[in-house]
Amino acid sequence: MDFNLTDEQKSIRDMVRDFTREVISPKAEEIDQENRFPEEHIPKMAELGLLGIAYPEEDGGVGADAIAEAIAVEEITYGCAATGSILTAHYLGIDGLYLAANKEQREKYLVPGCQGEKLFAFCLTEPNGGTDVGSMKTNARLDGDNYVINGSKIFITNGAYADTLVVYAKTDTSKGTKGISAFIVEKGTPGLSFGAGDDKMGIRGAKTDEVIFENCVIPKENRVGEEGEGFKIAMTVVDRGRIGIAAMAVGLSQAALDEAVNYSKEREAFGKPISNFQGLQWMLAEMEADVAVSRLYTYFSASLKDKENYRLSKEASIAKLITSEASNRVVNKAVQIHGGYGYMKEYKVERLYRDQRILEIFEGTSQVQKMVISSYLV
């Protein structure tokens, strides 16, 4: 087992790192304060191939591996967690097509998605059910050569800004999760509308919206896979997507650690830098250990995405659980090291503290990850 990055992975890391420092990081504070979607970042990330970095070249992607994708998310999130969330949400959207789309759908939707010509959204969560997907109320009724969709989704990242939405709806309400199917809905489709954007605690630039379907008519050929396969597609996408959240946690943790180290060297107390005090050194050591372990397990779980027919539910949940909770500890210590200044918006760690909290909630709460992991044990 080789724990060293390949030359390609190092090259991608360095490219995205430079891009983040030059383009993403300088805008992060402004994006947070103005609560705005950073539309200017999308074409720039597309130019670098980041919107389809781990997808095959025949599907419009770069053809890199899943570890490279995790590295890209980590580096983008280091500079701006909101932009990292926008990127992972796009992957959730195109991943369903990668897994189940037919040839025509791949050419029409997946290729431009991977090339960054179209931004995607993943529409699963509803007001009455996030974890409980079976309670889904949104339905799709077949009417001749079309489906008519009615219902609503909430907390949809990229929602109102996406060109293409991959929507999960019940085609047979009597079958529970086995009655769920997947659909492609294009921006501008009559009957598709959006509620007021959410005003969130953190990752504020990653705008989330209510997505509303009122007799939204789409052609039959926009169904992805067969009727009733939607739940299987969605759960596979979510499993794979949890590795993206783990990568976000690593990037955010590294940013908090770097801020804490730099501040500890500059801040003086009792006539010397506070980095000279052993109690604080131990806090930094604990933070470094959390970041190192999180990064290694994220890369390991990412490597499993490239194994054909490998079900990575357990490993993805472990990655999501340990990295998100480690990021909580790391950011908390970073604020503590800053003392009163860590509570002030003029310091980056205040934003990181707010951005971090969602990592233990979306793509399945920590409690859901424990349910998944324990199911393999008992």
Q: Residues 297, 221: one domain? A: no
C-beta neighbour count of 281 within 10 angstroms:
13
pLDDT in tens, 78-117: 999 999 999 999 999 999 999 999 999 999 999 999 999 9
Strands 164-170 and 120-123: parallel
24 and 97 share one domain: yes
Residue 94: count of CB within 10 angstroms of its CB:
29
Is 1 inside any structural domain?
no
Overall average pLDDT of the 64-84 stretch: 98
How many whole angstroms separate alpha carbon 200 and alpha carbon 314? 30
Of the residues 174, 205, 228, which one is the last residue of a structural domain? 228
Long-range contacts of 65-69 (CB under 8 A, 24+ apart): 65/9, 65/302, 65/303, 65/306, 66/243, 66/302, 66/303, 66/304, 66/305, 66/306, 67/5, 67/9, 67/299, 67/302, 67/303, 68/8, 68/9, 68/12, 69/244, 69/247, 69/302
In a domain, 332, yes or no: yes
Residue that is last in its domain, among 181, 209, 228: 228
Same structural domain, 290 and 367: yes
Question: For the chain, what is the radius of gyration of the CA atoms?
Answer: 21
User: Domain holding 287: CATH number?
Assistant: 1.20.140.10
H/E stretch holding 67: helix 66-79
pLDDT higher than 90, residue 129? no
| Domain co-membership, 69 together with 142 | no
* Residue 257 counted as domain residue: yes
Structural domain count of the chain: 3
CATH number at residue 184: 2.40.110.10
Q: What is the rounded distance in angstroms from the CA atom of residue 93 to the CA atom of residue 108?
A: 14
Residue 105 lies in a domain: yes
- Beta strands 180-186 and 268-269: pairing type? unpaired
In a domain? residue 2: no
Question: Domain check: are 283 and 355 in the same one?
Answer: yes
Active site residues: 363
Do both 224 and 303 map to the same domain? no
54 and 132 in a single domain? The answer is no
pTM for the model: 0.96
Same-domain pairing of 235 and 362 = yes
Residue 77 tokens, joined:
């999130």
Integer Cα distance of 246 and 143 in angstroms: 41
pLDDT digits (tens, 9 = 90+) for 192-225: 999 988 899 999 999 999 999 999 999 999 999 9
Are both 237 and 369 inside the same structural domain?
A: yes
Q: Is residue 28's pLDDT more than 80?
A: yes
Its sign, for the CA torsion 118, 316, 48, 34, is positive
> What is the distance between the alpha carbons of residues 364 and 370, in angstroms, rounded to a whole number?
10
Residue 345, in any domain of the structure = yes
**Residue 3 — very low, low, confident or very high, per pLDDT cuts 50/70/90?**
confident
Strands 272-273 vs 268-269: parallel, antiparallel or unpaired: antiparallel
Decide if pLDDT at 131 tops 80.
Answer: no
Q: Which of 114, 133, 165 is the last residue of a domain?
A: 114
Q: Do residues 293 and 243 both lie within one domain?
A: yes
Q: What is the CATH number of the domain that holds 32?
A: 1.10.540.10
Q: Do 175 and 244 form a contact (C-beta atoms < 8 A)?
A: no
Cβ proximity of 213 and 149 under 8 Å:
yes
| Predicted local distance difference test score (pLDDT) of residue 55 | 98
Contact yes or no for 239/259 (Cβ under 8 A) = no
Are 89 and 156 in a shared domain?
A: no
Domain ranges, residue 17: 7-114
Are 185 and 157 part of one and the same domain?
yes
Q: Where are the beta strands (DSSP E) in the chain?
A: 120-123, 139-143, 146-157, 164-170, 180-186, 192-194, 208-219, 223-224, 268-269, 272-273
| Residue 255: exposure state from Cβ atoms within 10 A (0-12, 13-18, ≥19) | buried
Mean of pLDDT values over 45-54: 98
Say if 366 falls within a structural domain: yes
Query: Which residue in 125, 135, 124, 201 sits closest to 359, CA to CA?
Result: 201
User: Average per-residue pLDDT in the chain?
Assistant: 96
